Structure 1
Amino acid sequence: MSDAPIVLGLNRTQDASACLMRGAQLLWAIQKERLTRRKHHWGALGDVRDFYRPRLPWPERPVDILVECYSSDAELARLPQHERELAEAALLAPAWRRARLSHHLAHAYSAFPPSPFQEAAVMIVDGQGSPVAELTERWDGAAAAPRDWREVSSFYRADRERIDCVGKQLWDRDDARLVGLGMFYFLLTQAIFPGEGNEGKVMGLAPHGRAGALGMPALGVDGASVTIPARWRPLAQERARFRYAA
């Protein structure tokens, strides 16, 4: 029997998923939506008990390392309940270890390691990720930032040995002043498509559009920071005007 560690990865929140590895060997990886048949199904207490444990193949050995990712929602506050669920499922080895990844760092690890590149610059563009207080990577700007501000874009230098954060744009959580390219796509998506998780459709349609069709100002770009001119906010709220298949 291989003595390579059994590693369980759990994305606890948006587009919930699980992955099991034996050392560098992938045993399985699946999104929760494939088990529940509900697109973009969020993570919740009971996922391990109700979906992953009974419906997926597990090795005889328990899990040695647990890798978790949370987003900007309140699920992290339920950490004790999640730990009890894992204990009740008898999944963890007595001396198990944990690694927790903040949201954008998890995006970076999902993008670079499977790529064919030996080194790369990695840019993560998101609606919003983890609060500064929950960042798990080293970033020089974190010490001076308010703990409740959230990452909206992150920039990394990556090679096959490490992934280092070189910059971030943060949002102060002021709903009257939204920032970031990811949040801009979120606003447009909500105007066009109902529900959640449709930003990819807007990105796919973007090359077919005309940039000046509505006479709106361009986004503000200053280095790594993107701001959204105030005129876009009321326009994005005209959902009856833009709603697809309304």
Structure 2
Amino acid sequence: MLGLGGPYYHDASACLVIDGRIVAFAEEERFSRRKHHKDSRSCAVAAAYCLSEAGISLDQVDEIAIAFNPTWPTPSEVCRDAELIAELLNPALFGHHRPKQVTVIEHHLAHAASAFHPSGFDEAAVLVVDGSGDGISATLAHGTTSGLKVLRQFPFSQSLGWFYETVAEHVGLGDWTSSGKLMGLAGYGNPDRYTLDFLTPRAGGYHLDLSRYGIRPDEAVDDQYTDLRYYRRLKAAYATAYIDLGIPRHHRTRTYTCGRTVPDTGYLPEHADLAASAQHLLEQCLTELAREALTLTGASRLCVAGGVGLNCSANGHLASLRGVDELFVQPAAGDAGCAIGAALEAAVRRGDLTLPGAAMTTAALGPAFSPGDIATALTDYGLAFHDHGDDLPTVVARHLSLGHTVGWFQGRMEAGPRALGRRSILADAHHTRARDHINNHVKHREPWRPLAPALLQEAAPDLIGTNVPHPFMIVARQATESAHQMIPAAVHTDGTLRPQTVARDDADPYACLLSSFAEQTGRPPALLNTSFNHEAEPIVCTPRDAVATFAAGPLGVLAIGPFLIRKDRPN
């Protein structure tokens, strides 16, 4: 089964499932080097990668599933639009093979499947919340061994994702691609300062009413959906609402320093307070949705997906809800992850996947490169490098203990927007200056944005107060007193952190690095971990991407495969 995600001209992706198992997944942006692969829905290169991982051609795929309905609002199970299919899968990359049809998996069902099918649960309440897809902005579903049953849905005119996005834009953080920054800014504000009474949490969910700003909740607007007329009206209504609260819109400026564009990274107190108010309100609405889903299903496990599922702070709140014994959040919760859901849902329908399936414990589903391939790339760039073999983690740990910031490129690329030790920038979490160096000089982004810790699982009780694994850096936890003392650079101003826990494994260079760092420093096996990229580019994919990013910035050390490169002197 080949699943294709990102149908709305952003976050295109592909996932290959064979015998119910995810064989490969990748986002198109990693190959095009255009963040979010904006303004295109071609999944062709990501799909070609997935097929190459299995050693098959496109004409050998049993079924192709797309994660949206091209004929919305008219229901459809199959799409035979040759032009659309060619747009998704450029025939030139597949021996000019042109699939005659693709299976349609509704957008929110694909999201739900991406969360429930790889959760390993035999039953769960499923919550999907995003901006909008196929006219829906929130879905409550029940996952069982029989599959998924949709219980309740909220239309696009009740979108929580769009609400959150407009706040981020109003305070100057950027367009929808920058909504995640609002989560970090919220930690600096007062959530009680502003009452956003147009959005009301209530039993069973929430209600959005922008009538006084020109949009009634009972207004018939389906004809304004696909051409974005409603979206534009909605953004204007929200902007008026925030201005009426006395909050000026912040228009960010950019300056040029040493040939580099430097964004305006400041914020006003009222912007932080609006961010905090929006974050708190979002969490209240999600709480009501989760409670309703748990009540309707009688389940004690919760699965989450959709773009709002990338909100670590909100996920931490959901994890602590009474009645939630276990929480699974799809690490690729945004539209890219729909490729996973579409492929798995198609596999369930064909009988190739029996639920519950195997639990997803790793997001390392993308391309890997052999030492030979890496050495060739390094040689082509004229770089001096040293092969440390199995000793690389020990050598890198020594650099980290000396305060160096390291680019780390190992194994298969991660799925989703969070680096998980495959394409990472690492530093010592004991010193806040490491965090500031990464934000200010390495990634050139807002100095108030938090960085996350990666830690060995055995250190979790001491640093995050629980033994529950957190492999995907997508659920925030309250930092313990030990975390405040030992890894302060990873603790946000609100006292939370978003951990990635790593199982001890002598065959895993990442786990060995954490262990060696602890042995050399006498501190917990924990490091600062952020994605290996500049602010304006996707996470690096290939060795050449890694070298280009390393060369363009102030990183002094690059650990790539078994090799180490230093800028200060030849190795």
TM over 0.5: yes
Q: Deviations over 1:39-75 (max 9, x none)?
A: 2114736542x5643796152351111011137899x
TM alignment of 1:1-246, pairs within 5 A? 7-11=1-5, 12-13=7-8, 14-42=10-38, 44=40, 47-48=43-44, 52-53=47-48, 57=52, 59-60=55-56, 62-70=60-68, 79-84=81-86, 86=89, 88=91, 89-90=94-95, 98-130=102-134, 150-171=135-156, 179-192=158-171, 193-206=173-186, 209-217=189-197, 219-222=199-202, 223-228=204-209, 230=212, 233-236=239-242, 238-240=248-250, 245=265
Distance across 1 between alignment mates of 2:51 and 2:144: 33
SS, match of residue 106 in structure 1: helix
What stretches of structure 1 move > 6 A for 4+ residues in a row? 71-74, 91-94, 241-244
SS in 1 for 2:169: helix
Q: Which has the higher helix share?
A: 2
Unaligned stretches of 5+ residues in structure 1: 1-6, 131-149, 173-178
Judge conservation of contact 2:11–2:27 (CA < 8 Å) in 1: yes
User: How far apart in 2 are the matches of 1:31 and 1:73?
Assistant: 25
Q: Give the match's secondary structure for 1:168.
A: strand
Match for 1:220: what amino acid? Answer: T
Query: May I ask how many residue pairs the two structures share in their alignment?
Result: 212
Is the 1:64–1:93 contact (alpha carbons within 8 Å) kept by the matching residues of 2? no
Identity across aligned pairs (percent)?
Answer: 27
Q: CA deviation at 1:24?
A: 2.0
- Greater Cα offset, 82-91 or 157-166: 82-91
Q: Distance in 1 between matches of 2:136 and 2:170?
A: 23
Give the distance between the partners of 1:72 and 1:83, measured in 2 at CA: 11
CA shift in 2, pair 1:122/1:66, >3 Å: same
Is the 8 Å Cα contact of residues 103 and 129 (structure 1) preserved in structure 2?
A: yes
Query: Does the 8 Å contact 2:16/2:51 carry over to 1?
Result: no
1:142-184 deviation per Cα after TM superposition (whole angstroms, max 9, x unaligned): xxxxxxxx21211101123311100011145xxxxxx332221
Structure with the greater alpha carbon radius of gyration:
2
Root mean square deviation, CA, Å: 3.8
The one-letter amino acid paired with 2:125 is A
For 1:70 and 1:42, the matched residues in 2 are separated by 17
- 1:168 touches 1:224 (CA, 8 Å); kept in 2? no
Q: TM-score, with normalisation over the residues of structure 1? A: 0.69
Pick 1 or 2: higher relative contact order, CA cutoff 8 A, min separation 6: 2
In 2, the alpha carbon distance for the partners of 1:22 and 1:220 equals 44
Deviation string 1:88-133 (CA, Å, 9 cap, x unpaired) is 3358798x87421111111111111222432111111121110xxx
CA contact (8 A) 1:181 1:226 kept: no
Q: Compute the TM-score of the two structures, normalised by the length of structure 2.
A: 0.32
Check whether the contact 1:184–1:228 (CA below 8 A) recurs between aligned residues.
no
Q: Are the aligned partners of 2:138 and 2:159 in contact in 1 as well (CA < 8 Å)?
A: yes
Distance 1:165 1:51, change over 3 A: closer
* 2:477 alignment partner in structure 1: none
Distance 1:221 1:45, change over 3 A: closer
Q: Which consecutive residues of structure 2, in runs of 5 or more, have no partner in the other structure?
A: 214-237, 254-263, 267-571
Question: How has the CA–CA distance of structure 1 residues 46 and 214 changed in structure 2, closer, same or farther, with 3 Å as cutoff?
Answer: closer
The whole-number CA distance in structure 2 between the counterparts of 1:191 and 1:78 is 41
Structure with more strand by fraction: 1
8 Å Cα contact 2:168/2:179 also seen in 1? yes
SS at match of 1:213: coil
- CA shift for structure 1 position 83: 2.8
Alpha carbons of structure 1 residues 187 and 236: separation in structure 2 relative to 1, 3 Å? farther
Distance 1:241 1:36, change over 3 A: closer
Q: 3-state SS of the aligned residue for 2:136?
A: strand
Whether the 8 Å CA contact 2:129–2:137 is kept in 1: the answer is yes
Does structure 2 retain, via aligned residues, the 8 Å contact 1:72–1:128?
A: no
CA deviation digits over 1:8-39, x for unaligned, max 9? 11113331100112222332100111112222
The answer as to whether partners of 1:169 and 1:225 remain within 8 angstroms in 2 is no
Question: Which whole-Å CA distance do the structure 1 matches of 2:80 and 2:184 have between them?
Answer: 36
